[in-house]
Structure 1
Amino acid sequence: MSSDQFTLSVIIPAWNEGDYLPDTLASLEHAIQSLPNEVACEVIVVDNASSDNTRSIALSRGACVIFEPERRIARVRNAGAEAAKGDGLVFLDADTRIRATHLTAVVAGLRAGLAGGGVPIDFDHLEGALQRAGLRAWNALSRRAHWAAGCFVFARADLHRAVGGFSEAVYAGEEIAYSRALKRLAQHQGRAFRILDIQPVVSSSRKITWFRPWQHAIVLLTFLFFPWAGRFKRLTWFWYHRPHDG
């Protein structure tokens, strides 16, 4: 990539995210202000047929808003990438807050030749040793296996296109397949797909609040024994159902 001008596209999939999107965009705006002058940044919010004020919030904060009706997170991420003009892409969840160091590290990594990667994650509210142990286990696995958490994934735009984007054959787990595909391509090109050694981004713990421990256990066991479960929307309810929606 050129050592001069560089454009970063931050893509935020959003379905009824009016409660969380303002804080995410505020943290993103602060991070963008810390980027070098030669780095431009565009923010794309992909409205996944929201019925709340998600769209108006995004527009009021200066984001580009596009509409994607299909309720499949891989399709929503890909729709944002298709509209993006950046040399680098960041896929950021609408309930995830970042710091300036995250964007500066991504830009530095991509300009230095990284294919892409992810970052450690944290949650805004955890209760008990079991939840904290689970988070530590994920961050260790993520770093060891080079699997990016879906709340913050980044990639060179040309390599995103080269691997075909996120697999739309699945309803969940697309970030793992994406990480693997980018890692394979990166190795072929003498590059790396890396989990950055940086402070974690902070996501909401809403799923921990919404669902009981036995429900989390069911999801874990389902995907442990049936890795293909992500291909079926009924088996990926954990990612698409919100208890207050009925």
Structure 2
Amino acid sequence: MSASTTRSAVEDSSSTPAPPPIDVSIVIPARNEAAYLRGALSSIAALDTAYEYEVIVVDGASTDDTQVIAREYGATVVEEEGSSIAVARNRGASHADGEWLAFVDADTRMRADYLTEMLGFVEREGIAAASSRCWMTGPVRAKLMEATINQLFPRLASPVLPGFNCVVHRRAFHDVGGFPDVPNEDTAFSRRLGRQYPTAYHPDVLVASSGRRITDDGLTGTLWHYLRLDVGRLRSS
């Protein structure tokens, strides 16, 4: 190949701009979530942010239109056998290109400034992960969980970062091995992460959730676990 041909090829290549780096990968585990997923993806499409982001929907062997809806909104669909939500979240993270990972659920609705606020917060505070206060619809026990998340979790020595609303740096996520495949996987993940990295809560309500998965056992079990571990800190605060 002549020098002029080589130069021309380089010039042609350089004239095509490289794709912008991905700041955030939004990971959504979903199994038969057609009734909710459109709302979540609509809220993501309405984000008002300068950050570059991608959306990854991890489909757990759905038999409804979950995949169709995900692709309708331009999301990358990653298939998973539906073994557990922890496995789904970790699989989504393994396909992510973002520096930050944002984990939300199919029934989570982001406020338009969610990414701008959350990434500005973690960068400003120099922390590895964060959640925010939330608003929940549903039965009384869902409102009890809302109060727990908004009032108790931020005061813990290692704040609980709910899986439906969590932003974490990819390096920290991989350092701790992702979400453990256990009951209350997000609380276990939060505790493991908090032992190695600083985490915190954004003080504003930035997401809404249906609260449909909250059960009395899940709520009381989580409360007891963290009250037992952090009773000293809570008494002194």
* Short-chain TM bin: 0.7 to 0.9
Distance in 2 (alpha carbons) for counterparts of 1:7 and 1:120 = 22
- Contact 1:121–1:149 (CA<8 Å) still a contact in 2? no
Alignment of 1:102-141 (within 5 A): 102-112=114-124, 113-126=126-139, 132-141=143-152
1:241 aligned partner: none
Residues 1:71 and 1:126: Cα distance change in structure 2 (over 3 Å): same
Describe the superposition over 1:167-224 as per-residue Cα deviations: whole angstroms up to 9, x where unpaired.
12x1x311111111221211xxxxx20111111411114346xxxxxxx445555667
Amino acid of the structure 2 residue aligned with 1:121: C
TM-score (norm 1): 0.75
Describe the superposition over 1:82-118 as per-residue Cα deviations: whole angstroms up to 9, x where unpaired.
0000000000100010112221122213433320011
Which one of the candidate residues 76, 93, 104 is aligned to 1:64?
Answer: 76
2:163 aligned partner: 150
Distance in 2 (alpha carbons) for counterparts of 1:131 and 1:15 = 21
Distance in 1 (alpha carbons) for counterparts of 2:123 and 2:221 = 39
Q: CA RMSD in A?
A: 2.4
2:27 aligned partner: 11
Which one of the candidate residues 68, 87, 91 is aligned to 1:75?
Answer: 87
Distance in 2 (alpha carbons) for counterparts of 1:222 and 1:152 = 20
Q: Which has the larger radius of gyration?
A: 2
Residues 1:68 and 1:182: Cα distance change in structure 2 (over 3 Å): same
Describe the superposition over 1:5-27 as per-residue Cα deviations: whole angstroms up to 9, x where unpaired.
66100000000000000010000
Q: Which runs of 5+ in 1 are unaligned?
A: 187-191, 209-215, 228-246
1:176 aligned partner: 187
Distance in 2 (alpha carbons) for counterparts of 1:221 and 1:136 = 13
Amino acid of the structure 2 residue aligned with 1:115: A
- Contact 1:87–1:156 (CA<8 Å) still a contact in 2? yes
Residues 1:29 and 1:137: Cα distance change in structure 2 (over 3 Å): same
2:56 aligned partner: 44
TM-score (norm 2): 0.78
Describe the superposition over 1:26-65 as per-residue Cα deviations: whole angstroms up to 9, x where unpaired.
001111xx212xx210000000111100001000110000
SS at match of 1:20: helix
- Contact 2:59–2:82 (CA<8 Å) still a contact in 1? no
Distance in 2 (alpha carbons) for counterparts of 1:120 and 1:93 = 15
Distance in 2 (alpha carbons) for counterparts of 1:13 and 1:161 = 18
Q: Which runs of 5+ in 2 are unaligned?
A: 1-19, 227-237
